Structure 1
Amino acid sequence: MVRACEADPGEWEPWWKEAEAEVEGPPVADERGENPSYPGLARFEPDNRALFFCRDWLAEESRLLVSEHRFTGVFGASGSGKSSLLWAGGDPPPAGGDREPEGPAVLRVFTPGARPAETYGHLLAPDVGEPDIWVLVDQSEEVFTLCRDKDERTRFIDVLPAARDAGSRLRVLIAVRADFYAQCAERREQGDALRGAALLVGPMTADELREAVVRPAQVVGLLVEHELTARMWTRPLTSPVPCRCSRTRCWSHSAAAGAAS
């Protein structure tokens, strides 16, 4: 729509991000002072990992890819659950590989922002005696949308595939919106590194969506009415992203209403 109006998408992107951040704010406690079972449009955080269901196989596959390739990418449409996968999908395995384990791996998660190399470059180098570092870069498309300095962008992009170097103690997983897939190949080294080391996050199956709705309610002692779930599953899952975020927001209101009645 922005291009149709002959406007610059790059200029509008920060405003989209600001609006998105307002919508995806932290979950608000209910009237009982308890955090909701569903984060709605917000991502799942490490603190509510116990409520994150139906993506176990994706979390395990991403860990295997990072263990094998040391640098990998997760691609998917906006709202497909990439951020939740990174933030609440589980801890990395112990450090090791071709070396003796030195203890649990260090986990670092961040979004690039406007100055990724300047802000986070120090996080990409293990300190002396430190075990493997697992760096999870969420919303990596910000490297192209928010970072206006080409040299800054290049410095950050080039340091990530260096995780594949012999003796490196760095492992990197980037989450990227699918429409920025081509930009990830603009730097040859990064494009080569992602060949065979990328994971596509597609829409949920009916069973996965049912688990994402029903299981969080069970964790906090609530039940989702069978009639409601039956009506949901009769609708075809034709959306590119069967909107877990919006549907679980609806279920959050339904469950809260049920608990109050």
Structure 2
Amino acid sequence: MAGCAENPLDPGAGPVQRLASELRKLRSEAGSPTYRSMAQRTHQGASTLSQAAAGERLPTLPVVLAYVQACGGHPEEWEERWRQAAAEAAAEPRVEDEKAKPPHRGLARFEPADADLFFGCDELTERLFQQACLRRFTAVFGPSGSGKSSLLRAGLRERVVIAVRADFLGHCAQHPGLTAALRDGTVLAGPMSRDELREAVVKPAQAAGLIVERACCMTSLHSGNWASCPLPVMRSSHSP
């Protein structure tokens, strides 16, 4: 992702930021390839690889190994580094805070500070990321409650993209200049798949050190037509 400065990291702040800092160093030593070119060499998206070195949450091992592969690193060495970081992160004491936010945002939209709890939209985020890299103006359309605002704030972040309710598409088409700008620059936020819904329910809880029982998750996914349910409503069913 050329031209986008990454946020500074503090390797002494913990295992997650240390690993992210080491990944950035590896990329720098490899000649600082763009994340888009790294994605072309692996089976991971550019935004996924970028997030691996953001230092906000521990990336999965497959993502780290893909990052390392794209930069010419040694997989065995980096797998050991990841396992050490994962063990240290798991051993970190969790301070009980009665005022702590629940992992599921319910009806509230996700903000940039909630990026480490935003799951289930990787494919959509990647499509939007690629579109935003190629065009100066991009719009994401979707029905009310489809998660457009959360996608831009916690998923994409730091990109010039607008979110528009799908029922306003006709109004946009009344303006020739806007119509021309939106041509080939539109991404549609549609229903989530069952796997994406499961990820949106389970992974925020895991990130907060909690466990969603399998039976509870399966009951929730099978008890209603979540594919057509507004995303905030689905998430609110798992909030306190």
Q: Same fold (TM over 0.5)?
A: yes
Pick one of 50, 63, 71 that aligns with 2:129.
63
Aligned to 2:239: 252
Deviation at 1:250, TM superposition (A): 2.0
1:174 to 151, 162, 165: 162
Aligned to 1:79: 145
Long gaps (5+) in structure 1: 1-29, 92-106, 108-133, 136-172, 254-261
Aligned: 1:34 with 2:22: no
Q: Whose strand fraction is larger, Structure 1's or Structure 2's?
A: 1
After the TM superposition, which parts of structure 1 deviate over 4 Å for at least 4 consecutive aligned residues? none
For 1:77, the aligned partner's letter is P
| Aligned-partner Cα distance in 2 for 1:38–1:236 | 19
Where does residue 187 of structure 2 map in the other structure? 199
Structure 1 residues 193 and 59, CA gap change in structure 2 (3 angstroms)? same
- Counterpart of 1:232, as a letter, is S
Identity score, percent: 44
TM-score by length of 1: 0.52
Identify if the C-alpha distance between structure 1 residues 236 and 54 changes in structure 2 by more than 3 Å, giving closer, same or farther: same
Instruction: Judge conservation of contact 1:76–1:202 (CA < 8 Å) in 2.
Output: yes
Report the Cα distance in structure 2 between the residues aligned to 1:234 and 1:55, rounded to whole angstroms. Answer: 20
Partner SS state of residue 144, structure 2: coil
Deviation string, structure 1 residues 199-243 (Cα, Å, up to 9, x no partner): 000011111000000000001111112221111222453653x23
The aligned runs of 1:218-229 (5 Å cut-off) are 218-229=206-217
3-state SS of paired residue (1:181)? helix
d(CA) in 1 for partners of 2:120, 2:237:
18
Please tell me whether the aligned partners of residues 198 and 217 of structure 2 are also in contact (alpha carbons under 8 angstroms).
yes
Q: Verify the 8 A CA contact 1:206 1:237 in the aligned structure 2.
A: no
Report the Cα distance in structure 1 between the residues aligned to 2:203 and 2:187, rounded to whole angstroms.
25
Higher relative contact order (CA 8 A, sep 6+): 1
C-alpha displacement at 1:90, in angstroms? 3.5
Pairing 1:217–2:208 present: no
Q: Any idea what SS the aligned residue of 2:210 has?
A: coil
* TM-score computed with the length of structure 2 as normaliser: 0.56
| 1: CA distance, partners of 2:121 / 2:149 | 12
Q: Give a deviation string over 1:139-193, Cα, whole Å, max 9, x none.
A: xxxxxxxxxxxxxxxxxxxxxxxxxxxxxxxxxx110000000111111011022
Aligned residue type for 1:64: Q
- CA distance in 1 between counterparts of 2:153 and 2:230 reads 19
Distance in 2 (CA, whole Å) between partners of 1:59 and 1:227 is 29
1:190 matches 2:178: yes
How far, CA to CA, are the matches of 1:175 and 1:55 in structure 2? Answer: 15
Paired with 2:119 and 2:209, the residues of 1 have a C-alpha distance of 16
| Amino acid in the other structure paired with 1:183 | H
> Which of 112, 115, 119 is 1:46 aligned to?
112
2:35 matched to which residue of 1?
Answer: none
User: How many aligned positions are there?
Assistant: 145
